[in-house]
Amino acid sequence: MTPGSVALLLLVALVLGGSAVGFLAGRRRELRLEEWAVAGRGLGVLLVWLLMAGENFTAFSVLGLSGWIYSRGGPTLYILVYLALGQVLLIFVGPLIWEFGRRHGLQTIGDFFARRYASAALGVVVALTGVIFLVVYLQLQVTSLGIIVEVCSFGQVGRLPAMVAATALAAGIVLASGVRAIVWVSVLKDFLLVGVAVLVGIAIPYHYFGGIGPMFAAVEHARPGHLTMPGSTTVDTHSWYVTTVLMSSLGLTWPHMFASIFTAKSGDTVRKNAVLMPLHLLPLVLIVFAGCAAILVVPNLPNGDLSLLTVARQTFPPWVLGLIGGAGALTAMVPAGVQMLSASTLIAKNIVPLLAGRPLPEATVARVARAGVVAVALVALYLSVHSSATLVSLLILAYSGVGQFAPGIVFGMFCDRVSPRGVLAGILGGLAVTGALVWSHHDPFHEINTGFIGLGVNLAIVGAFTGLERRDAMPSLAAIGSGQETM
């Protein structure tokens, strides 16, 4: 057997094993829409933790993180900071969102905006925006899957067939078992991810440099300043770092994060999950170590996203590479599944009824949602084939887009007279400014994250509308959580 065949065989075995777990997760359950999309609102702390970990720690955690430390250096550490900071927001906000969702039977972020502001138009705009950026995030997972299989098979399997096969498999799991499939595949994925992180983060630095400290000294000697700000860039300065951390910490605004909150059996479950989630940052630190080692071990790679797998292929026997590849593939498939599910539910619950001009029966919504899984998967696959963007660039773009939901969520919690039209105009204005800057190649803009600039415009618009309009008080989510709701 060739080295590529050995690695590929183990990779495929792990992926098929994880897929089997996913397909079996929905057995003996009646997969009505409520069960399929939000697990009947019955998941406890551990299962919600596994679900959210599967969404937060994706294939990007394996490839994009090491790729950016390889190519850009110090600015990469923003990733570790925003993942922790976002959990602080979830501790205070998550239980309120859960309670509002339970009272009104919500399943999507579009439902949340439509109900909170009594505005169907706002719900549709949020849903459509959410679908667009979920597809961008899904594109990141599909691209990662292709890279993993191509490198681990030593080029025996091309990137395109790998992406097609893995995307089809992830979509099949979601269609068969819904959100519970994602939870149970996350169990296997998390064990593998931790094992791989320990292996590459410790073994590679010790093998080539005799330790982690000597490795950092060698990198600093060979590439002075690479591991400090602005690293090997001229634009990723401290201003960019701070604004990108703040923007990315609004990950609560992701549609699939809302769906995960709604799966919990209580608000306290959401709070406890947020407290525990930063534990998942520990393996990511080890991934950073491996990326640093790759700077000197496999220099001058054309694409930094290849660095971790390339150094692993050079260092370990083929079967270990297969183990790493299998862990990476599952780490892409888990969030890919939840992103497909969330996007398709937004389409079925919030967009199609508007096009139909009437509410749809639950059975029809469920059928549309399942068809949406296939459509979303195909669009993401097409974009993956025809895009050359790096993984981190895709991630920052997506966070800049969904971050525009933040004012509507926060004001909905703590303000009782915010203007629904202002929230709608703010989202559209923030997206317009962010999009214009990105597509005119002004990202960052004067060393500021473009999404952060868009968020500032968003807040100004919401404030202006709210100040100009005189509205009757609407109960805030904080009032709802304390039992003072009057709606």
Domains and CATH numbers, the chain: 3-391 (1.20.1730.10)
pLDDT (tens digit per residue) in 149-182:
999 998 889 889 999 999 999 999 999 888 888 8
CB 264, CB 176: distance < 8 Å = no
Which residues, given as ranges, of the chain have pLDDT below 70?
26, 28-31, 388-392, 470-487
Q: Where are the alpha helices (DSSP H) in 277-405?
A: 281-297, 307-315, 318-346, 352-356, 362-386, 391-402
User: Is 276 within 8 Å of 359 (Cβ atoms)?
Assistant: no
Contact, 336 vs 167, CB < 8 A?
A: yes
Question: Using N-to-C axis directions, what is the helix angle for 450-468 and 420-439, rounded to 10°?
Answer: 150
Q: Where are the beta strands (DSSP E) in 196-275?
A: none
Q: How far apart are the first and last CA of the chain?
A: 68
Q: How far, in Å, CA of 134 to CA of 127, rounded?
A: 10
- 434 CB burial (10 A radius; 0-12, 13-18, 19+): buried
Q: How far apart are CA 36 and CA 348, in angstroms?
A: 13
| Under 8 Å between Cβ of 442 and 390 | no
pLDDT at 375: 96
Structure tokens at 222: 């060979």
- State the pLDDT at residue 140: 86
Measured between alpha carbons, how far is residue 292 from residues 74, 175, 285, 297, 391 in Å?
10, 39, 11, 9, 18
User: Per residue in 203-224, is it b (16+ CB within 10 Å) or e — as a string?
Assistant: bbbeebbeebeebbebbeeebe
Each residue's pLDDT tens digit, 2-14: 888 999 999 999 9
Residue type at position 437: L
For residue 136, the surrounding DSSP H or E stretch is helix 120-152
CA distance 147 to 324: 13
Instruction: Identify the pLDDT of residue 30.
Output: 65
CA dist 432 and 263 (Å) reads 32
Helix (H) or strand (E) holding 436: helix 420-439
Could you give the CA distance from residue 411 to residue 114 in angstroms, rounded to a whole number? 14
SS3 call for 152: helix
pLDDT at residue 473, rounded to an integer: 53
What does the alpha-carbon distance between residue 226 and residue 223 come to, in Å, rounded to a whole number? 6
Token pair belonging to 474: 């609407």
Alpha carbon distance 245, 465 (integer Å): 28
C-alpha–C-alpha distance, residues 108 and 369, integer Å: 12
**Residue 442 identity:** H
User: Which tokens sit at 312?
Assistant: 């692993």
